[in-house]
Structure 1
Amino acid sequence: MSEKIVNETICLKQYLSEKEYKEINQLEELCSSQDKTNLKLELDFKFSSRSTYDLGLKEINEFLYYIDDVLVAYLGISSFGGSNIGEINGMTHPDFRRKGLFKKLFKLAVEECQKRKFNKVLLLSDGHSNSGINFIKSTNSEYDFSEYRMKLLNKTKLESISPIKLRKATIVDGKEISRQNAIFFNFSEDCEISLEKDEELSEFTYMVELVEMVIGKIRVNFREQSAFISGFGILPEYRGRGYGKAALIEAVRIINAKTIEEIELDVECKNSTALNLYKACGFEEVSVMNYYKFNI
């Protein structure tokens, strides 16, 4: 009997096609379900922003490993907002681990990071992922910081008498969103923002308004049974007055109106101000994501 020939293919992409997006999501669901861990792949943001970030530079962000046309390993580089920091996260199908597949993708990703001359490269792993942490240790990376994944568990009705309102951002808000991203997240203010909505992904940015004056923003990604909050910030001159809590309450109300049961967000563990805000609104830590600095 002749031995079966296995067709192995590595695909390098600048951004994801719809087919690849779905394949990676399916692999992520499988890995997360079996390992009981979380991944931070930024797929929704990458997919919805793919046209904005196609600037003709042909930078490689997506590394996909196929065996017989089935996706068995994936690695992604996330670098948004002109920060010159690359974040690497990925996964391997449980049946194809310890075969060196992810190591091959990682080597290619390191070469890409060197080519792009990142100031800093971070490797991400769920705090309970033994395989992820062991791989990162093999790269001699050093621990940098951690983020909590928080979920709205206490659904006690939140009352707000604040004049804070949320409205969906439009193309006119693009420059203001870029300005706030520079303030909140050290993004480059020149980084273009795409506000085109993908009907399937349903991701929206909302402007936080105080008597029709913009004082912050918040982004919500809707899925069938869940919503994820990100990109949240209040301008420095309006902090400490309860506007952040009022804006978060309004975002939760918008989400609840869609009868969505699960609401999540991420926050840096050392950010006590944000942690206290989220806890006051009923969010609790459910997992931790560790970031390790890789010596590029």
Structure 2
Amino acid sequence: MSEKILNETISLKQYISEKEYKEINQLEELCCSQDKTNLKLELDYKLNIRRNSEIGLKEINEFLYYVEDILVAYLGISSFGGSNIGEINGMTHPDFRRKGLFKKIFELAMEECKKRNFNKVLLLSDGNSNSGVKFINSVCGEYDFSEYRMKLFNKTTLESTSSIRLRKAGKLDGKEISRQNAIFFNHSEEFECFLEEEEELNKITYMVELNERAIGKIAVSYSDDSTFISGFGILPNFRGKGYGKAALKEALRLINEKNIYEIELDVECKNNTALNLYKACGFEELSVMNYYKLQYF
């Protein structure tokens, strides 16, 4: 009996569409349910920054593998804050593994990363994903660091603090935000007008102020009934004085005012100061995401 020839298609995109968002979500739910692991695909962020296809393909971020019009493998490239670092995460349908499908889109992604001259490329894998670690080892990935995904499970009573205040950032804060990103996250200190884009993403960056002086920042991304905290930092000269805890509590209070109590964030596992701060405010560890750097970048 002759073997059926399947119709296979690889789709390369700069941004995902609503349809592709749903397809990737469905595949993610299937994989995570079967493997008992988590993925960090940044799908909500990616959907929100999609651009009109008439602009033309400038950078490829999305790699989708279809068999008979069914999405069976996906890989995405994420790059944030002008850091020139590419983060790669993806998955393959359980019934289509060990067939080389993911390797095909991975090789295409590597070509794209080289074109974009990334200084560093990181491969992400849940700490419990044996298949993910096995693949990363096969492409010579080297362990770099790990992050906890943390979540605030219980509603807490938070009062406004008088020591610091959070002010919604405006266009004039762009250079200061870029400067702080360079200090906190080693991002290149390049000013970009991103606040209007943040509005479209339902994301708000707040400046942490002490006596009307910006001593840090914190960003909150809102969805219908949950939020994600990112980009949080206090300038070195103001650390160890309780300002970080006060800023986080004020952010939580502002979120709670919108009747939202499901709040998540990521924190590097080695950052004991931040870990203790989040735990003190009621956050608990959900999962561990390991980051591996590719040796040839």
Which TM-score bucket, shorter chain as reference? 0.7 to 0.9
Query: What is the match of residue 66 of structure 2?
Result: 66
- Cα 1:175–1:16 shift into 2, 3 Å: farther
Instruction: Give the C-alpha shift of residue 230 in structure 1.
Output: 0.7
- Spell out, residue by residue over 1:2-46, the C-alpha distance to the aligned partner (whole angstroms, 9 max, x if none): 976633211112233343334323332332233222211233334
- Spell out, residue by residue over 1:176-231, the C-alpha distance to the aligned partner (whole angstroms, 9 max, x if none): 22222122111122252422367885222222222433222111122233221111
Query: What is the match of residue 194 of structure 2?
Result: 194
Partner of 1:173, secondary structure, is helix
Counterpart Cα distance in 2 of 1:163 and 1:49: 36
Is 1:178 matched with 2:185?
Answer: no
Aligned CA RMSD, in angstroms, stands at 2.7
- Cα 1:211–1:49 shift into 2, 3 Å: farther
Instruction: Give the C-alpha shift of residue 155 in structure 1.
Output: 4.3
Query: What is the match of residue 214 of structure 1?
Result: 214
What letter is aligned with 2:168? K
Q: Is the 8 A contact 2:141 2:293 kept in 1?
A: yes
Counterpart Cα distance in 2 of 1:193 and 1:260: 28
Instruction: Give the C-alpha shift of residue 145 in structure 1.
Output: 1.1
Q: Is the 8 A contact 1:49 1:194 kept in 2?
A: no
Q: Please show how residues 237-248 of structure 1 align to structure 2 within 5 Å.
A: 237-248=237-248
Q: Is the 8 A contact 2:13 2:61 kept in 1?
A: yes
Give % identity: 77
Counterpart Cα distance in 1 of 2:163 and 2:218: 16
Query: What is the match of residue 149 of structure 2?
Result: 149
Q: Is the 8 A contact 1:177 1:193 kept in 2?
A: no
Query: What is the match of residue 125 of structure 1?
Result: 125
Query: What is the match of residue 250 of structure 2?
Result: 250
Q: Is the 8 A contact 1:168 1:204 kept in 2?
A: yes
Q: Is the 8 A contact 1:149 1:288 kept in 2?
A: yes
Query: What TM-score results when the alignment is normalised by the length of structure 1?
Result: 0.87
Q: Is the 8 A contact 1:77 1:88 kept in 2?
A: yes
Query: What is the match of residue 82 of structure 1?
Result: 82
Q: Is the 8 A contact 1:11 1:65 kept in 2?
A: yes
What letter is aligned with 2:248? L
Instruction: Give the C-alpha shift of residue 141 in structure 1.
Output: 1.6
Q: Please show how residues 1-296 of structure 1 align to structure 2 within 5 Å.
A: 6-49=6-49, 58-153=58-153, 155-159=155-159, 161-196=161-196, 201-296=201-296
Aligned length: 293
Q: Is the 8 A contact 1:48 1:198 kept in 2?
A: no
Residue ranges of structure 1 left out of the alignment (5+ in a row): none
- Cα 1:26–1:171 shift into 2, 3 Å: farther
Q: Is the 8 A contact 2:154 2:261 kept in 1?
A: no
What letter is aligned with 1:141? G
Residue ranges of structure 2 left out of the alignment (5+ in a row): none
Instruction: Give the C-alpha shift of residue 156 in structure 1.
Output: 4.2
Partner of 1:196, secondary structure, is helix
- Cα 1:56–1:235 shift into 2, 3 Å: farther
Counterpart Cα distance in 2 of 1:26 and 1:257: 32
Partner of 2:248, secondary structure, is helix
- Cα 1:119–1:161 shift into 2, 3 Å: closer
Counterpart Cα distance in 1 of 2:20 and 2:168: 29
What letter is aligned with 2:69? D
What letter is aligned with 1:112? E
- Cα 1:194–1:19 shift into 2, 3 Å: farther
Partner of 2:99, secondary structure, is coil
